[in-house]
Amino acid sequence: MAMRKIGVITDVHANLPALNAALYVIDLEGCDSVIHTGDAIGIGPYPFEVLDALLDRPHTHLLMGNHDELFAFGLPDLQPVWMSEEEWEHQQWTHAQLSPEMRGEVATWPYAVDLDIAGATATFCHYARGPKGEGFASIIQHPSVDDLDGLFGHGSDVVFYGHHHPLSDLRGKTRYVNPGALGCSTEPYARFGILTAHRDGKWNVELRAVEYDRDALFRTFEQRLVPARASILRMFFGQPG
């Protein structure tokens, strides 16, 4: 019999249909809590609805991602050299959909959390922090076990992370699990993980995916005139844009 079940999601990226589909299954599975490892907003057309749903949901723990960080602490007054014109406009649009009260709540989100589950230690984070302890480290596109050992350097039994959108499950000094971006994929599936702890002290991780209505998502990009939508649809959803 399971002692505890935790739904693990990451990178919802303002995709409400995908979030709803995943949470429906997570609830059916009897998960007692949900942990989102960052980037609730940005990219998708539903920033307010997604953030409102996550903030209002009980037993849900929300961690800071890079898109959340830009909202919580504000964009710079001038467009930074590392941000394209399209992304600058998109971030401004995203933030304009949200309330000052939401900004205050997001600013309280931690960057990582460690849990002791059935005698095993689990770390949840968006990604490794930057070299100076600010922001996030550069994404390694095709990480090896050695890369992940060097990135996280953590003594936990399992590390859950996101930021990089492809699914990954590798074992090095510890187990590194990225359930895959829930809200950004070239396939019509919302991805997530379920961590189950058993009364005998054993635990396991199951990686899941559930189909969702991408047509509704694509229509909303157009209806809301989301800035950079053509590039977003091409880069993150494999659409012609």
CB atoms within 10 A of CB 88: 17
The percent of residues in the chain predicted with pLDDT above 70, rounded, is 99
C-beta separation of 191 from 203 below 8 A: no
C-beta separation of 205 from 195 below 8 A: yes
Closest CA to 18 of 166, 161, 162, 184: 184
* Average pLDDT score over residue span 213-237: 97
* Average pLDDT score over residue span 166-179: 96
Which architecture characterizes domain 2-237 according to CATH?
4-Layer Sandwich (3.60)
Question: Helix H segments across 3-65?
Answer: 16-28, 47-56
* Average pLDDT score over residue span 158-172: 96
Q: What spatial distance separates the first Cα and last Cα of the chain, rounded to whole Å?
A: 47
Q: CA-CA distance, 40 to 55, in Å (whole number)?
A: 10
Amino acid at 1: M
Q: CA-CA distance, 147 to 149, in Å (whole number)?
A: 6
pLDDT at 1: 53
Give the tens place of pLDDT for each residue, 87-146.
Answer: 999 999 999 999 999 999 999 999 999 998 878 899 999 999 988 888 899 999 999 999
3-state secondary structure at position 210: strand
Residue 129 region by backbone torsions, left for phi larger than 0, else alpha for psi between -120 and 50, else beta:
beta
**The tokens of 191 are what?**
């991805």
Q: CA-CA distance, 63 to 241, in Å (whole number)?
A: 31
pTM exceeds 0.75, yes or no = yes
* Average pLDDT score over residue span 151-169: 93
**The tokens of 6 are what?**
């935790």
Q: CA-CA distance, 17 to 109, in Å (whole number)?
A: 24
pLDDT at 237: 97
Pairing of strands 60-62, 33-36: parallel
CA–CA–CA angle 70, 143, 162 (5° rounding): 35
User: What's the Cα-to-Cα distance from 117 to each of 36, 94, 176, 234, rounded to whole Å?
Assistant: 17, 36, 16, 40
